[in-house]
Amino acid sequence: MIELYILIIFMIVGAIIAIEVKDLLSSVVAVGAVGLALSIVFLILKAPDVAITQLVVEILCLIILIRATLRKDLPFSTTGRWFLNTAITVCFIAVFLFVSFKALKQLPPFGYPTMRVASVYLKEGLSVTGATNIVASVILDFRAYDTLGEATVLFTAVIGVLAIVRRVGRKKVGEIVREEDESRPS
């Protein structure tokens, strides 16, 4: 359990560095370090599926952040109204700590869930679906409807991105749009 605490402290320190550092590239690298530590945490908690997904999605996000959006430092201002900002932040942290303290005391102990349906999946997953990877049998057979919703969310996200960053809403008759012009908002 001790390595888990070390990784969690590392992630908290990385997140604080990502917020506080002035250079945007250093901030993105710190976010990447937090994500990689999170994938190791998943591996320690015996969840290799989630660890693989976290690792590859983190790498893709890092590449997109560095390569596509990080051309120059964006204008960024935090001067003025520091008292109000600090007061609101402290207020929210206090409320959040209080609520999470109340909620965490009500949680069942680690490894003893109140929902009993998971044990049925574990016992009968192999015989009912024939898949030796229990995670695959849950997300694509028992709870495939959730996966359909997730796929719809991703599909909508892709369509939204492609619709927002395209160049023009309508092409004129006979107008030819070159490849590099295609995604330039005008």
Partner 1 sequence: MSREHDQGMSLIVKTITRLTVGLILLYGIYIISHGHVSPGGGFAGGVIVALSFVHLMLAYGKEAAFKKLSKQAASFFESAGAIIFLTIALLGFAGGYFFFNFLAKGEPFKLFSAGIIPLCNVAIGLKVGAGLFGIFVALVLLKFESEDKK
> With binding defined as CB under 8 A, does residue 48 bind partner 1?
yes
Which CA distances in Å does 81 have to 20, 76, 85? 18, 15, 6
Stretch that binds partner 1, among 9-17, 81-89, 95-103, 145-153 (CB under 8 A): 145-153
> With binding defined as CB under 8 A, does residue 165 bind partner 1?
yes
Neighbours of 39 (CB within 10 A): 20
Closest distance to partner 1 from the beta carbon of 32 (Å): 14
Annotate 3-70 with DSSP letters as a single string. HHHHHHHHHHHHHHHHHH-S-HHHHHHHHHHHHHHHHHHHHHTT-HHHHHHHHHHHHHHHHIIIIII-
> With binding defined as CB under 8 A, does residue 99 bind partner 1?
no
> With binding defined as CB under 8 A, does residue 147 bind partner 1?
yes
Binding positions for partner 1, rule: CB under 8 A: 48-49, 51-53, 56-57, 59-60, 63-64, 67-69, 71, 126, 129-133, 135-137, 139-141, 144-145, 147-148, 151-152, 154-155, 157-158, 161-162, 165-166, 179-180, 182-186
